[in-house]
Chains A and B, each alone.
Chain A
Amino acid sequence: QSALTQPPSASGSPGQSVTISCSGTSRDVGTYNYVSWYQQHPGKAPKLMIYEVSKRPSGVPDRFSGSKSGNTASLTVSGLQAEDEADYYCSSYAGRNNYVFGTGTKVTVL
């Protein structure tokens, strides 16, 4: 199955914003509004941060926001904090028979 493409790394200083892209195709991100984002700290399980492109689960700070344009989804973390340093993965429903994850982005807080 083809993974969604993310930049390997992104960084920002405390208080700044960082945006991570998730590039898919018309078979997944471009057609369906079922993009999710997960945060994973080293040695820990992933945590859902965004679902259905832009919805935040209860307890997720509003500093995290999601959007989509065409075949590319984005996660923006505003007001970066040290605790936001982690790996981030996007995912998408990809039509019948599939659910795919992105390649992952390591976010560093400078």
Chain B
Amino acid sequence: QITLKESGPTLVKPTQTLTLTCTFSGFSLTTYGVGVGWIRQPPGMALEWLALIYWDDDQRYSPCLSNRLTITKDAYNNQVVLSMTNMDPVDTATYYCGYTIGTSKTAWYPTWFDPWGQGTLVTVSS
């Protein structure tokens, strides 16, 4: 059974850097094709894909936020870390991580995530 769980601060100040950790079980991030991504959802609003990292350390980022995001992995400790710089109140959202299997047919950009973690709400406020 694949499970993922997000952890990190619930409150950050504007201009600070947010660091979130996704801890997973039930799969290995050393297996060909396997990836873990991050998606966020502001309160009452739609989902937005942020970033994705694969078994081979290949990374993909949303073009809108690529200059603020860094995704890394520690496959042996079953963790993926997302960093987002220069946080702003509009970044207030529930942040989810999700499991995927990529394909070269989409240049390894995501096509689905399943399952997702429970999400963690991050509020940006001074």
Cβ of B109 < 8 Å from any Cβ of A?
Answer: yes
* Minimal Cβ-Cβ distance residue in A for B106: A93
Interface residues of B in 59-73 (CB under 8 A from A): 62-64
Interface size on A, residues (CB 8 A): 26
A28 to chain B, nearest CB (A): 11
Establish whether residues B96 and A45, one from each chain, have CB atoms under 8 Å apart when the complex forms: yes
Pick the contact of B47: A51, A97, A98, A101 (CB < 8 A). A101
B27 to chain A, nearest CB (A): 15
Judged by DSSP, the binding face of B is loop
Q: How far is the CA of A48 from the CA of B112 in the complex (A)?
A: 8
* Minimal Cβ-Cβ distance residue in A for B113: A48
Q: Mark A80-110, 1 if CB is under 8 A from B, else 0.
A: 0000000001010100111111111000000
**22 A-B pairs, CB-CB below 8 angstroms?**
A1-B62, A3-B46, A38-B47, A44-B118, A45-B96, A45-B118, A45-B119, A46-B116, A47-B116, A48-B115, A51-B112, A52-B111, A57-B114, A91-B112, A93-B111, A96-B109, A98-B63, A99-B49, A99-B62, A99-B109, A99-B110, A101-B47
Q: Which residues of B come within 8 Å of A, CB atoms?
A: 39, 46-49, 62-64, 96, 106-107, 109-119
